[in-house]
Amino acid sequence: MDLDPEKTVDRPASLGEAMRNDVPFDLAYAREQLKQEQSLPLGILAGSGAALLGAIGWAIITAVTHFQIGFMAVGVGLLVGTAVRRFGKGFDTIFGVVGALLSLAGCALGNLLAVIAMGAAANNMSFFTLLGKLDPVVAVRLMAATFQPMDALFYGIALYEGYKLSVRRITQADIHRLQTG
């Protein structure tokens, strides 16, 4: 392999061009081509929607089972991370950070909505009536009063999943698309 810094290599416009012209094509170049598809705003929007959907699902399951299930946080992290990756298509670390933070927000909201659902059932109230009476100070107090040490473990797993799953990796489908594109 010639490593002469004076020589320049023209990069092919696509992997297909590289293969047709027998020009070397490296993964770093493929990554740069795919980075052009990134959309942080779309990743944030999709991740926020997934966090909200996961939180609502957590509350519904809690209301139906009458049991607070901490590992629902894992599902929220999975849902958020997948949404950020699929719609944001990001390779940069910021996509992982966004996925982790939105996963944590989804977990906190899911936990809060679940506590409201259980409180409404215990007091023969409508969920929405109790939700309407909630203010930020009461919400923080509810979260503090109902937080269990095991919640930290599940929140940590959700953060990890949200981070790890939000960042895109080059797949065979990406390579194939670049070959034919």
- What's the token pair of residue 124? 């023969």
- Evaluate whether residue 8 is within a structural domain: no
pLDDT mean over 77-93: 95
CA angle in degrees (0–180, nearest 5) for 98-104-109: 125
Domain membership of residue 25 (yes or no) is: no
3-state SS assignment for residue 180 = helix
Report pLDDT digits (tens) over 158-181.
999 999 999 988 777 777 777 776
In a domain, 157, yes or no: yes
Residue pair 97/163 in contact (Cβ under 8 Å)? The answer is: yes
Query: Is residue 40 within 8 Å of residue 84, measured between CB atoms?
Result: no
* Boundaries of domain holding 160: 40-166
Q: Is residue 103 part of a domain?
A: yes
In a domain, 9, yes or no: no
pTM: 0.80
